[in-house]
Copies of this chain bind each other. A is one copy, B any other.
Amino acid sequence: MSDQPIIRRRTQKLNTISEERVNNQKTQSQYQPYKDAAWGFINHWYPALFSSELPEDEVQGIQICGVPIVLRRSEGKVYALKDQCVHRGVRMSEKKMCFDKKTVSCWYHGFTFDLKDGRLTTIVGNPDDKLIGTTGVTTYPVHEVAGMIFVFVREDDYPDEDVPPLEHDLPFRFPKDNERFPHPLWPDTPSLLDEGAVAMGMHRTGYGNWRVAIENGFDNAHILVHKDCSIVQAMKWVLPLGIVPTGDDAITVVEDDNGPKGMMQWLFTDKWQPILENKELGVEVKGVNARPYRTSVVMPGVLMVENWPEEHVVQYEWNVPITDDTHEYWEVLVRVCRTPQELDDYKYRFERVYKPLALHGFNDCDVYAREAMQYFYADGTGWDDEQLVSTDLSPITWRKLASRWNRGIAKPGRGVNGATKDSAIRYRETADGKPPRYKTDKVDF
């Protein structure tokens, strides 16, 4: 075998994991819970639908953190129950069957559930059965505000009295936090919870794990991805090559007893330095012209972009886990509208400018970028082998605080869509051009 070269396995310094990477073993151990949370964080408030997606009397099925949920609007109020009939696991949302205003029934065998406590109150065609009253489905608290329906997605035995207010899972408020988070370059940022707040936006399914998606939102070093975006060119913005933290205080972690848990990034201060040239490559940016903004993120992973896309408007983003390889990506703009005219103007500007240029134009780049990272993380390789740098202070800080402050790690979905990844049903739907989705389709019979 003299042609067989002797493989001298010399260590080649290049093709290995560098000791200089920020995410060394010690750091990784501080966010192990986050690495375990492939199916998401449970016992948190999540956006479920826009109010307009659920007319009076309608039912709609969705899935969050592997939990199938059916929403119903009855006499104006929205109720949320586990979308899995106690009988044989059917999704009630596939066909609306409600006999009165207080219940929702499963269309298959008529098992009927109380909207308020989920109790099995009767079976339409079997009203004397002994199972009645002895079981039921989990209910989920609902909070509808500013045109959005939020659901507290919880474990089956999470007690009602421990459910926190929605405010604890929404971004920081202004002017309340003016002192802590001053903003000399723009006016008070609005919030969903303000009087007169109006949310406009869209949500779509993202293909990949929610964590990889979410980290893109507040990662300041990915600005390159946006340099060719239409809105950037149209507005004649000139972006820096990058933005680097000048110290560990470039991000402040917030852990109040009674409020959201999260972090604020001090953009547009001396704590984040824009990089305008790279001598190695002979590249230079002249005359930076960027719109001032600031990002923060709070549990369970909602991004806030202040002063974006214009003054008095704020952008929220969620990446809500559906399964461990799909998520629902929400882009929501909020403005306070005090008069009907303000509301009309806002809706018009949203449709004509914000949605095409920002929600699509700017954020579509991010959607592509997030997918581009998925293969590396899908089989776990990325969580171990990524090599993070100074700008990754952002995701690392997030991972640590998420590991500390999540209210529970969702278990893998069981007996639900996405629990079995390669079912023949899934291939059949795919052959019909319908990939894995967020909402349940209605059957037509």
A257 to B414, CA, bound (A): 42
Query: In the complex this chain forms, how many copies of it are found?
Result: 3
Tell me if A381 counts as interface (CB < 8 A to partner B). Answer: yes
Contact (Cβ within 8 A) A224 B108? yes
Contact (Cβ within 8 A) B84 A376? yes
Chain A 1-27: CB-based contact to B (< 8 A → 1; otherwise 0): 111111111111111111111100000
Contact (Cβ within 8 A) B135 A18? yes
Tell me if A237 counts as interface (CB < 8 A to partner B). Answer: no
With contacts A2-B257, A108-B222, A369-B108 known, is A240 near B125, CB below 8 A?
yes
Contact (Cβ within 8 A) A162 B7? yes
With contacts A127-B279, A244-B125, A431-B434 known, is A419 near B373, CB below 8 A?
no
Q: Which A residues have a C-beta under 8 Å from some C-beta of B?
A: 1-22, 82, 84, 86-91, 94, 97, 99-100, 103, 107-110, 112, 117-119, 121-131, 134-138, 156-159, 162, 164, 168, 207-208, 219, 221-225, 228-229, 240-244, 255-259, 261, 275, 278-283, 323, 325-326, 364-365, 368-369, 371-379, 381-382, 385-391, 404-405, 407, 414-417, 419-436, 443, 445
* 8 closest A-B pairs by CB: A125-B242, A89-B376, A381-B415, A14-B136, A421-B422, A18-B135, A125-B241, A431-B435
Which of A90, A94, A126, A374 has the most chain B CB atoms inside 10 A of its CB?
A126
**Which residues of the other chain, B, contact A259 by a CB distance below 8 angstroms?**
3
**Which residues of the other chain, B, contact A375 by a CB distance below 8 angstroms?**
89, 91, 415-417, 419-420, 423, 425
A11 CB to closest chain B CB (Å) equals: 7
**Which residues of the other chain, B, contact A388 by a CB distance below 8 angstroms?**
87
A112 CB to closest chain B CB (Å) equals: 7
Q: What are 18 A-B pairs at a CB distance below 8 A? A: A7-B159, A8-B162, A12-B159, A14-B119, A16-B156, A18-B86, A20-B130, A20-B135, A99-B283, A112-B281, A125-B391, A126-B242, A129-B389, A130-B389, A131-B387, A131-B389, A325-B425, A368-B445
A417 to B373, CA, bound (A): 11
- Among the listed B82, B129, B135, which residue makes an inter-chain contact with A390, where contact means beta carbons less than 8 Å apart? B129
Contact (Cβ within 8 A) A21 B222? no
**Which residues of the other chain, B, contact A16 by a CB distance below 8 angstroms?**
135, 156
Contact (Cβ within 8 A) A12 B223? no
A4 to B88, CA, bound (A): 33
Contact (Cβ within 8 A) A20 B381? no
A337 to B241, CA, bound (A): 50
A376 CB to closest chain B CB (Å) equals: 3
Contact (Cβ within 8 A) B435 A368? no
Residue of B whose beta carbon sits closest to that of A436: B424
**Which residues of the other chain, B, contact A282 by a CB distance below 8 angstroms?**
99-100
Which of A88, A208, A259 has the most chain B CB atoms inside 10 A of its CB?
A88
Contact (Cβ within 8 A) B415 A385? yes
Residue of B whose beta carbon sits closest to that of A420: B378
Contact (Cβ within 8 A) B14 A135? yes
- Among the listed B126, B242, B382, B385, which residue makes an inter-chain contact with A244, where contact means beta carbons less than 8 Å apart? B126
A429 CB to closest chain B CB (Å) equals: 8
Which of A208, A240, A261, A425 has the most chain B CB atoms inside 10 A of its CB?
A425
Contact (Cβ within 8 A) A86 B387? yes
Contact (Cβ within 8 A) B109 A391? yes
With contacts A99-B281, A425-B374 known, is A110 near B241, CB below 8 A?
yes
Contact (Cβ within 8 A) B122 A278? yes
